[in-house]
Every structure is written in structure tokens, then in C-alpha cells.
Amino acid sequence: MRLIAIVLAALLLLIQYPLWLGKGGWLRVWDMEHQVDVAHIKIQELKTRNAKLESEVNDLKEGTDAVEERARFELGMLKKGEVFIQILDAPKKSE
């Protein structure tokens, strides 16, 4: 009787091994689900970035406001008749 119990326990352990550690086991499935979740987050970030870039491209193609804004801030350009005034903060006195 004792031998049967040992054999059955060994068989149970042998059956459990592929379930937990085998090619389609729970640990591998959990790892794959984690990788899929990370990939979904990355894809969402890239979609958001692409939407912003697409919006900027459309602004540059269709409107002059975006071009004018870039010319002003990145290149320091002014319109005809405008005067550039720069206001500097007063230097702080060190005590």
C-alpha cells in the first residue's frame, strides 16, 4: 500500500512539472503576459507621439501660424515693423 502511495505521488509530481515549468507552463505564460503588457504600453506611447508629430506636420503644411511661431522662437525672426525688446531680471545681490 505504501509503495502505491509513493508511486502515485511521484506520478503526480511528474504531471505537475510540465504544468509549471514546461514549454506552455504557468511561469512562461505569466512571463509572456508581462511582455505583452509592456509592449502595449510602449505601443500606446508611440501612438501618442505619432499623433503629435502628425498634428505638427499638418500645421506646418496647411497653416502659417506654426511656421511663424518656429521662426520667432527658434530663429529669433521678427515681422516687418516689429521692435525686439528684451527685459532682463535684475541681478541678485549676494550678501
pLDDT in the model for residue 95: 61
Most confident option among 4-13, 15-24, 67-76, 86-95? 4-13
pLDDT in tens, 13-70: 888 777 777 777 788 888 899 999 999 999 999 999 999 999 888 877 887 777 787 7
* All structural domains of the chain with their residue ranges: 2-75
Long-range contacts of 35-38 (CB under 8 A, 24+ apart): none
pLDDT in the model for residue 29: 86
